[in-house]
Structure 1
């Protein structure tokens, strides 16, 4: 029968008071092996910092208006989308990206106190519900600089 990974394994040390929590039976067996050899068990007591290499990604805007406003329509605005849009804003501050939500009153995640609207306000994004506001359609043109948006198939 395979081990259940989600269950934490707990084992009392020989001293009887300290408890070390292992996440797998294999970790527990290795600790027991070290103890049997009379060696100290040093389990998850250190951290090592490392950098995850950058990767190039692409973003496909839902709608690009004639006036240069980019409109992203969202029913669900998950954490990956939020991270992506913060990165895009950081790398392309000249772009005007706005959101149209099914409901800007939706919470970021179950149990969250923050709504999509509050996230947008905090991060400087304009937003609307259900449809693009007519005012956005009539705004003065903001040309998108050459080379930022690439036609699909023109990678």
Structure 2
């Protein structure tokens, strides 16, 4: 048996029998979602997002939209582009955008 010994998965493996391998492969999948940009210059296919928080879900979404809609340009206006993308990371919001070829700038002050 593998790393599932003495667990619920081990009991399931025993119940299923030797014809089943435990976690032998990874299968990819695609989720279909929709995206509602903050601001769009429709004539010029330009999207502008206003972001205070830029979490992992937002970053995945922006990369997916950029990949699937390359005819649109995306720019992000950050409230604070110097915030780190996660606790302990050295990468700022601005750094992340630079790495992924996404235009960004600091948004308007209060």
Quickly name the TM-score band, shorter chain normalised: 0.7 to 0.9
- What is the aligned partner in structure 2 of residue 86 from structure 1? 63
Residue 56 (1) aligns with residue 32 (2): yes
Residue 99 (1) aligns with residue 81 (2): no
- The whole-number CA distance in structure 2 between the counterparts of 1:85 and 1:63 is 14
Q: Which has the higher helix share?
A: 2
- Greater RCO structure (CA 8 Å; 6+ sep): 2
CA shift in 2, pair 1:24/1:129, >3 Å: farther
Alignment of 1:3-152 (within 5 A): 22=4, 25-27=7-9, 46-52=23-29, 54-65=30-41, 68=44, 69-131=46-108
Give SS of 2:37's match: coil
CA shift in 2, pair 1:48/1:102, >3 Å: same
After TM superposition, what 4+ stretches of structure 1 lie above 4 angstroms from structure 2?
A: 20-25, 27-31
User: For the pair shown, which has the larger CA radius of gyration, 1 or 2?
Assistant: 1
Q: Deviations over 1:75-119 (max 9, x none)?
A: 111111111111111111111110011100000111111000001
Q: Post-superposition shift, 1:30?
A: 6.9
Q: Which runs of 5 or more residues in structure 2 are unaligned?
A: 14-20
- The whole-number CA distance in structure 2 between the counterparts of 1:71 and 1:81 is 14
Q: Post-superposition shift, 1:129?
A: 1.3
| TM-score (structure 2 length as normaliser) | 0.73
Q: Which runs of 5 or more residues in structure 1 are unaligned?
A: 1-19, 32-43, 132-155
Q: Cα RMSD (Å) of the superposition? A: 3.2
